[in-house]
Chains A and B, each alone.
Chain A
Amino acid sequence: MALLEVEGLKIHFPIRGGLLKREIGSVKAVDDVSFSIEEGQTYGLVGESGSGKTTTGRAVIGLNHVTDGKILFNGRDLTKERRKDRQLQRDVQMIFQDPYSSLNPKKRVMDIIAEPLRNYERLTATEEKRQVGNLLEKVGLSPESIYKYPHEFSGGQRQRIGIARAIALKPKLIIADEPVSALDVSVQAQVLNFMQEIQKELNLTYLFISHDLGIIRHMCDQIGIMYKGRYVEQGTTNDIFENPQHIYTKRLIAAIPDMDPTKREEMIAFRQQIKSEYENSYRNFFDEEGLAYSLQSISDTHRVALPQKG
Chain B
Amino acid sequence: MLYTLLFNLLKNMEIYSGCILLLTNTVCGNNGVRVIDLNNELLEVRDLTTSFRIEDNYYAAVDHVNLKVKKNEVLAIVGESGSGKSAFAFSLMGLHNKAKIEGQILYKGQDIANISPNKLNKLRGKEMGMIFQDPLSALNPLMIIGEQIEEILTLHQPRLSSKEKRDKVIHLLNQVGIPRPEQIYKQYPHELSGGMRQRIVIAIAIANKPELLIADEPTTALDVTIQLQILELIRDLKKEINAGIILITHDLGVVAEMADRVAVMYAGEIVEIADIVTLMSNAKHPYTRSLLNSIPTLSEEKSKLHVIQGIVPSLKNLPRQGCRFKARIPWISDSAHEDNPQMHEIAPGHFVRCTCYQHFHFPDQAEEE
Hey, which bits of chain A sit against chain B, CB under 8 A? 48-49, 154, 156-157, 184-190, 192-193, 196, 211-215, 217-219, 241, 251-252, 255-262, 264, 267, 271
* B259 contact set on A, CB distance < 8 A: 261
Q: Specify which chain B residues have a CB less than 8 angstroms from the CB of A258 in the assembled complex.
A: 253, 256-257
Q: Report which residue of A157, A184, A190, A255 has the largest number of chain B beta carbons within 10 angstroms of its beta carbon.
A: A184
B291 close to chain A: CB less than 8 A: yes
For the complex, is B81 an interface residue (Cβ under 8 Å from A)?
yes
Residue pair B253, A218 in contact (C-beta under 8 Å) = no
CB contact under 8 A between A259 and B305, given known A184-B81, A211-B223, A217-B296: no
Task: Give the complex CA separation of A260 and B277 in angstroms.
Answer: 8
Asked if residues B250 and A213 are in contact (CB atoms below 8 Å), the reply is no
Report B236 CB to chain A, min CB distance, Å.
11
Is A257 a contact of B80 with CB atoms below 8 Å?
Answer: no
- Determine the distance from Cα of A189 to Cα of B228 in the docked complex, in whole angstroms: 24
Contact with A along B274-318 (1 / 0, CB 8 A): 001100100000000011001111101010111110011000000
Closest A residue to B224 by beta carbon equals A255
- Name B61-93 residues within 8 Å CB distance of A: 80-81
B239 → chain A, closest Cβ, in Å?
A: 12
Taken together as a complex, chains A and B put the C-alpha atoms of A187 and B305 apart, in Å, by 10
B226, B280, B294: the one within 8 Å of A259 (CB): B280
> What is the distance, in angstroms, from B94's C-beta to the closest C-beta of chain A?
27
| Most central of A193, A213, A271 by chain B CB within 10 Å | A193
Does B250 contact A184, Cβ atoms closer than 8 Å?
Answer: yes
Q: Provide 27 A-B residue pairs closer than 8 Å at the C-beta atoms, listed in order of the A residue.
A: A48-B223, A185-B80, A185-B250, A185-B252, A185-B291, A185-B294, A185-B295, A186-B80, A186-B290, A186-B306, A186-B307, A188-B295, A189-B294, A192-B296, A193-B305, A211-B223, A214-B296, A251-B225, A255-B228, A257-B227, A257-B251, A257-B257, A260-B256, A261-B277, A262-B277, A264-B257, A267-B257
Find out whether the CB atom of B223 lies under 8 angstroms from the CB atom of A214. no
State which size class the interface on B falls in: 35 or more
Chain A residues whose C-beta falls within 8 Å of the C-beta of B277 in the assembled complex: 261-262
Q: Cβ of A252: which chain B residues have Cβ within 8 Å of it?
A: 224-225
Inter-subunit contact B276/A261 (CB<8 Å): yes
Per DSSP, chain B at the interface is loop
Kindly identify, within residues 211 to 264 of chain B, every residue whose CB is under 8 Å from any CB belonging to chain A.
223-228, 231, 250-254, 256-257, 259
| CB contact under 8 A between A257 and B256, given known A48-B225, A185-B250, A186-B308 | yes
Q: How far is the CB of B249 from chain A (nearest CB, A)?
A: 10
Complex: how many Å from CA A185 to CA B223? 17
CB distance from A310 to the nearest CB of B (A): 32
Q: Which residues of chain B are within 8 angstroms of A190 by Cβ–Cβ distance?
A: 307
Contacts of B81 in A (CB 8 A): 184
CB neighbours (8 Å) of B231 from chain A are 257
B residues contacting A by CB (< 8 A) are: 80-81, 194, 223-228, 231, 250-254, 256-257, 259, 276-277, 280, 290-291, 294-298, 300, 302, 304-308, 311-312
Docked Cα-Cα span, A186 to B328, in Å, equals 12
Q: How far is the CA of A276 from the CA of B280 in the complex (A)?
A: 30
CB-CB under 8 A for A217 and B298, given A48-B225, A256-B224: yes
* B312 CB contacts on chain A under 8 angstroms: 154, 184
From A188, A217, A255, contact of B294 by CB (8 A):
A188
- With a cutoff of 8 Å between Cβ atoms, the chain A residues found around residue B227 in the complex are 255, 257
Q: What separation, in Å, do the CA atoms of A214 and B252 have in the docked complex?
A: 12
Of the candidates B223, B226, B253, B276, the one whose C-beta lies within 8 Å of that of A257 is: B253
Measured CB to CB, the closest approach of chain B to A182, in angstroms, equals 10
User: CA separation between A258 and B80, bound complex, in Å?
Assistant: 20
Contact of A218 with B80 at beta-carbon distance under 8 Å, contacts A193-B307, A258-B257, A262-B277 already known: no
Q: Which residues of B contact A211 (CB under 8 A)?
A: 223-224
| Docked pose: A251 CA to B226 CA in angstroms | 11
Contact partners of A217 in chain B: CB under 8 A: 296, 298
Contacting residues, chain B, for A257 (C-beta < 8 A)? 227-228, 231, 251, 253-254, 256-257
CB neighbours of B250 from chain A (8 A): 184-185
**Measured between C-beta atoms, what is the minimum distance from A170 to chain B in Å?**
25
User: Which residue of the partner chain B has the closest CB to A51?
Assistant: B223
Please name the 10 residue pairs, one residue from A and one from B, whose CB atoms are nearest each other, closest first.
A257-B253, A218-B296, A189-B305, A189-B294, A186-B308, A48-B223, A184-B80, A255-B228, A261-B276, A255-B224
Question: How far in angstroms is the closest Cβ of chain A from B37?
Answer: 23
- Kindly list chain B residues whose C-beta atoms are within 8 Å of the C-beta of A215: 296
List the A side residues contacting B256 at CB < 8 Å. Answer: 257-261
**Shortest CB–CB separation between residue A131 and chain B, in angstroms?**
27
Query: Inside 8 A of B302's CB, which chain A residues have their CB?
Result: 218
Q: Assess A213 versus B225: contact at CB under 8 Å? Given A193-B304, A258-B257.
A: no
